[in-house]
Amino acid sequence: DTEVTQTPKHLVMGMTNKKSLKCEQHMGHRAMYWYKQKAKKPPELMFVYSYEKLSINESVPSRFSPECPNSSLSNLHLHALQPEDSALYLCASSQSGRSYGELFFGEGSRLTVL
Contact footprint for another protein (CB under 8 A): 6, 31, 33, 40-43, 45, 48, 50, 55-56, 90, 92, 94, 96-108, 110
Specify the pairing of strand 104-105 against strand 44-50: unpaired
Provide the minimum distance between the beta carbon of 113 and another protein in the complex, in angstroms, as a whole number.
18
Find out whether 104 and 2 touch, Cβ atoms under 8 Å: yes
Provide the minimum distance between the beta carbon of 54 and another protein in the complex, in angstroms, as a whole number.
11
The Cα 108–Cα 36 span in angstroms is 9
Provide the minimum distance between the beta carbon of 12 and another protein in the complex, in angstroms, as a whole number.
16
